[in-house]
């Protein structure tokens, strides 16, 4: 569900970029990208068995 | 590089992104390999990468549009690198089928890194920013690329909803939650 929402938000950003005002496209893009990062941190919970 | 050349390059980038997303879709449908949450997030980042080129094609090339794509590529690279690290230990079979020896997430990491470098190179050519050509109609080649990306993004949204339903996607999905009987 979470990724389906992200796809839909970026779809809205694309449609705004192509058919609507530039500011709306940029705003939708920023919101969607921030939510993508948040969703990444939600899923990236497994410990990496690595040492650097 | 003129603005018109830059627009053609942006259209080519959209076709490249469409090919990457269609390849993931192909494995999902033909080999019945359902994408995991991190795999889906990489596809989301590929979609995010396409917003900048669409703006460039419609409004003319501008540094802000390229910056949006750079941000999307950095996020995508981080997500792909995380999945590479999850499967980097010797003996780990990886997730999904390898394509030419590398898994989708490894290709994704390479493509996002290449995108960062290519966008930086294209931004070196400042003549594209001098003349605003927003009033001109984009070539049919570019218009088709934009609509192709829009359709592929809509298809990804629908497929992801079928796969995950109303819940958070499982780490190792084995069936489409919204389709009765699975798969």
Q: What confidence tens digit (pLDDT) does each residue in B11-27 have?
A: 999 999 999 999 988 88
Q: Measure the CA angle with vertex B7, ends B2 and B11; round to 5°.
A: 150
Which residues fall within 8 angstroms of residue B1, CB to CB, at 6 or more apart?
Answer: B9, B122, B125, B127, B128
Q: Is residue A50 assigned to a domain?
A: no
Question: What are B102-135's pLDDT values in tens digits?
Answer: 888 999 999 999 999 999 999 999 888 886 666 5
Residues of B in contact with A4 (CB under 8 A): 157-158, 160-161, 164
Domain assignment of residue A21, given as a range: 2-41
Q: Which residues of B touch A18 (CB under 8 A)?
A: 54, 58, 146, 150
**Option in B45, B85, B158 nearest A36 (CB):** B45
Interchain CB distance below 8 Å, A33 and B75 = yes
In the prediction, which pLDDT does B181 show?
A: 57
Contact B142, B3 (CB under 8 A): no
Q: What pLDDT score was predicted for residue B182?
A: 46
Higher-confidence residue of A24 and B99: namely A24
Of B143, B48, B3, B72, the residue nearest A19 (C-alpha) = B143
Residue B50: phi, psi to the nearest 5? -85, -15
Which of B4-13, B88-97, B118-127, B140-149 is the least confident region?
A: B88-97
Q: Does a structural domain hold residue A23?
A: yes
For residue A46, being part of any structural domain is answered with: no
Residues 14 through 43 of chain A touching chain B, CB cutoff 8 Å:
14-15, 17-18, 22, 25-26, 29, 32-33, 36-37, 39-40, 42-43
Residue A24 forms part of a structural domain = yes
Greater confidence (B91 vs A16) lies with: A16
Task: Kindly tell me if the per-residue pLDDT of B33 is higher than 50.
Answer: yes
pLDDT digits (tens, 9 = 90+) for B73-87: 999 999 999 989 888
Number of structural domains (chain A) is 1
Q: What pLDDT was estimated at residue B26?
A: 87
- Asked, for residue A29, whether it belongs to a domain, the answer is yes
Mean pLDDT, chain B, integer:
89
> What's the residue count for chain A?
52
In a domain, A51, yes or no: no
Higher pLDDT, B59 or B133: B59
CB B80 within 8 A of CB B109: yes
Per DSSP, the three-state class of B102 is: strand
**Under 8 Å between Cβ of B34 and B163:** yes
| Coil, strand or helix at B63 | helix
Q: Which residue of A has its CA nearest to B66?
A: A26
Flag whether pLDDT at A19 surpasses 90: yes
Inter-CA distances, B87 with A32, B37, B95, Å: 27, 15, 8
**Does residue A6 belong to any structural domain of this protein?**
yes
Say yes or no: A10 contacts chain B, CB-CB below 8 A: yes
Nearest to B51 among A1, A3, A17 (CB): A17
Whether residue A18 is contained in a domain is answered as: yes
User: CA-CA distance, B41 to B36, in Å (whole number)?
Assistant: 9
- For residue B1, the distance in angstroms to the closest alpha carbon of chain A comes to 23
Instruction: List, in order of start, the domains of chain B with CATH numbers.
Output: 3-164 (1.20.1550)
For residue A42, pLDDT beyond 80: yes
Q: Which of B75, B73, B25 is nearest to B50 (CA)?
A: B73
Which residues of B touch chain A, with CB atoms under 8 Å apart? 37-38, 40-41, 43-45, 47-48, 50-51, 54-55, 58-59, 64, 68, 71-72, 75, 78-79, 82, 85-86, 88-89, 146, 149-150, 153-154, 156-158, 160-161, 164-169, 171
Q: How confident is the model at residue B98, as a pLDDT?
A: 80
């Amino acid at each position: 569900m979470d990724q389906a929402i992200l796809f839909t938000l970026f779809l809205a950003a694309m449609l705004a970029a192509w058919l609507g005002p530039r500011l709306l496209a940029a705003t939708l893009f920023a919101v969607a990208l921030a939510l993508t990062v948040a969703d990444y941190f939600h899923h990236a919970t497994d410990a990496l068995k690595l040492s650097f | 590089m003129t603005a018109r050349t830059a627009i053609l390059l942006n259209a080519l980038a959209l076709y490249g992104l469409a090919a990457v997303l269609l390849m993931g879709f192909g494995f999902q449908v033909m080999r019945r390999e359902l994408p995991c949450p991190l795999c889906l997030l990489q596809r989301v980042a590929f979609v995010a990468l396409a917003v900048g080129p669409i703006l460039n094609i419609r409004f003319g090339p501008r540094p802000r549009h390229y910056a949006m794509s750079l941000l999307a590529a950095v996020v995508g690279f981080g997500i792909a690198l995380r999945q590479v690290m999850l499967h980097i230990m010797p003996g780990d079979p990886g997730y999904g089928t390898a394509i030419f020896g590398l898994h989708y997430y490894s290709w994704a990491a390479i493509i996002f890194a290449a995108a960062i470098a290519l966008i930086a190179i294209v931004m070196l050519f400042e003549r594209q920013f001098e003349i605003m050509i927003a009033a001109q109609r984009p070539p049919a080649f570019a218009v088709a690329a934009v609509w192709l990306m829009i359709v592929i993004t809509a298809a990804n949204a629908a497929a992801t909803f079928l796969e995950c339903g109303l819940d958070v996607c499982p780490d190792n999905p084995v069936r489409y939650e919204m389709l009765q009987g699975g798969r």
